[in-house]
Amino acid sequence: MMARRKIRGRDLAARIGITEQNLSLLKSGKVKGVRFDTLDRLCAALECQPGDLLEYRPGDPDPG
């Protein structure tokens, strides 16, 4: 989505108020969750819907 909107990670991170490192973790899928307000700001900045950014991947249930 960032490529479609021609926006760099540094610029997007600054626009939505998170660090470049946190944006990188979100992009790589290495986080277990995202706050709704962060998702809202991402969608607003990228002019998209949450489904454009999220993908469901079935996995092992959490044993915890």
Structure tokens at 35: 């706050």
Residue 32 structural domain: 2-52
Q: Within a domain: residue 47?
A: yes
Q: pLDDT, tens digit, for every residue of 12-64? A: 999 999 999 999 999 998 888 899 999 999 999 999 999 999 888 787 666 65
Q: What is the rounded distance in angstroms from the CA atom of residue 20 to the CA atom of residue 11?
A: 9
Q: Within a domain: residue 36?
A: yes
What is the model's pLDDT at position 63? 60
DSSP H or E run through 53: helix 50-53
What is the model's pLDDT at position 61? 65
Q: Within a domain: residue 7?
A: yes
Q: Within a domain: residue 8?
A: yes
DSSP H or E run through 16: helix 9-16
Structural domains of the chain, count = 1
Q: Within a domain: residue 63?
A: no
> Is the distance from CB of 44 to CB of 50 less than 8 angstroms?
no
Structure tokens at 56: 């469901």
Q: Within a domain: residue 60?
A: no
Domain containing residue 41: CATH number: 1.10.260.40
